[in-house]
Chains A and B, each alone.
Chain A
Amino acid sequence: MSDTYERLVALLAEGFGLEAGEIDPERTFSELEMDSLALVELGLTAQQEFGVTIADEDIQSDDTISQAAKTIEAKMASLA
């Protein structure tokens, strides 16, 4: 898995009370009980971590963790 994915997992474990073991690339945010407010909060945290702006619609609750990592990577690439 990519570096972005690993950093995203670290964010989820540190700030959102998830255990590293329960986070899987193919699990969706809703499976991890992360509702829309939690995703807004994740967006704020990810913005600081990755230096890109993440809007409400960028990460959805039925996205998987690996999809979210790819969304963030694409935004980072467009900045580069």
Chain B
Amino acid sequence: MTSGRKPSHAAVTGIGMVTAAGIGAETAWQTICAGGATAAAPVPALAGTPADFGCAVTDFGRANTIERRKAWRLDRSSQFAIAAAKEALADSGLEPATWDGARVGVVLGSGIGGAATWEKQHRVLLDDGAQRVSSMLIPMLAINMAAGYIAMECGARGPNLVTATACASGATAVGVARDLLRSGACDVVITGGTEACLVPSIISGFSQMGALSTRRGELHAASRPFDSDRDGFVPAEGAAVLVLERAEDARARGARVHAMVSGYGASADAHNATAPDPEGVGAELAVRAALADAGIGPGDVDHVNAHGTSTPLNDIAEAKLISRTLGERPAVTSVKGVLGHALGAAGAIEAAVTSMTLEHGFIPPTANLDSQDSQIEIDVVAKIGRDTHPEVAISNSFGFGGQNAVLVLTRA
């Protein structure tokens, strides 16, 4: 199966991250590589609910990346996105003061939007009446706003949108961003994902579905992808932003290139609202489409940055899909053992981590993998990372609604 088009490589020239494992891509990368206890801890906003822990970004206010004059009118999800975008743009070396803004696009992924603002203002509505509801509710709640605010921050006047494919949103965004470069619609695309919904209504909703880990006595061990004792995901918040440019443009300006986004595939399970297809048939379509798009074969894949949520159903279905499609060769890891599951931001965070994996030649380990599920017959990197210099990696993201997005990344 081939796409019939010549391969198209988008250079990742800038990375920014805001995660529970640290603010700043380099800090987060170091924590992820150490692969130790997860960042899970009690979340004050969730106190009094059954699922009262998660991987929160705890020191964001102190990092002081957003001007106070702007911060009050931005939902936390937009604040994360802007902070990550600023870091990524600085890393890219591009100059927003002099670029042709009409050629710069923004494509972010997000699953939920400004949930904390909505919850707060709904409380105002019930307690104090409609006349007290904030005039900022809509621009703080609407899921498209984070991308709009990034444009305002840097004068990016090209196509601007948010992709919503639940937990695949961040990966979908990166794929769509690359397509905007390939089509010629943009010369630079600022892409990634953001999520900040560690609030009682949303997390209770996940909890009532039975999707979350209930390992309350041992929070650091709760997110344990591919382990036989896994019992659900640990919700997280965060953002990652990647600056993408056509490979030839990045080379021409002498930019440092972290990695290449070389393929993208998307599909739907057409199966169930929240349960994955047990055999991963829909997800396999996305993997095969991404490989075809990149013009590479299944045997070329050295590394898989898995969706690996630590839910019983996802991890088994994903493992079957990986072994059936790619064989036993790739070294598989899930960074959700460290970071938890940042929902609509996860795919972007993982695309950033996969880029850094290729750049540094080091595959981070899956935290908390003490005893691999015997039904999971793939090579999962546990405990200690591997210095194996992968050349070709895929990053899987699968969302509720059966929405799947897979990226192929290659070493620059």
Which A1-21 residues have a C-beta within 8 angstroms of B?
15-19
Query: Which of A36-44, A61-69, A70-78 lines the interface with chain B?
Result: A36-44
What 1/0 flags go to A19-33 for Cβ under 8 Å of B? 100000000000011
B72 interface residue (CB < 8 Å to A): yes
Cβ of A32: which chain B residues have Cβ within 8 Å of it? 69
Number of interface residues of B (CB under 8 A): 12
Contact A17 B135 (CB under 8 A): no
Residues from chain A with Cβ under 8 Å of B67 in the complex: 17
Q: What are the residues of chain B within 8 A of A16 when measuring CB–CB? A: 69, 72
Contact residue among A17, A19, A37, A48 (Cβ-Cβ distance under 8 Å from B136): A37
Partner of A38 from the list B68, B71, B73, B132 (CB cut-off 8 Å) is: B73
Complex contact B68–A17 (CB within 8 A): yes
Instruction: List the A residue with the shortest CB-CB distance to B128.
Output: A48
Q: In the bound complex, do residue A15 and residue B136 qualify as a contact, i.e. CB atoms below 8 Å apart?
A: no
**CA of A40 to CA of B73 in the docked complex: distance in angstroms?**
12
List chain B residues, Cβ under 8 A from A48.
132
Closest to A41 in B: B135
Interface string of A43-54 (1 = CB under 8 A from B): 010001000000
- How far apart are the CA atoms of A48 and B127 in the complex, in Å? 14
Answer whether A37 and B139 are a contact pair too, CB < 8 Å, given A44-B132, A44-B134: yes
Chain A residues within an 8 Å CB radius of B70: 17
Question: Which residues of A are in contact with B by a Cβ distance under 8 Å?
Answer: 15-19, 32-33, 37-38, 40-41, 44, 48
Subset of 16 A-B contacts with CB under 8 Å: A16-B69, A16-B72, A17-B67, A17-B69, A17-B70, A17-B72, A19-B68, A32-B69, A33-B69, A37-B73, A37-B139, A40-B135, A41-B136, A44-B134, A44-B135, A48-B132
Binding site for A on B (CB under 8 A): 67-73, 132, 134-136, 139
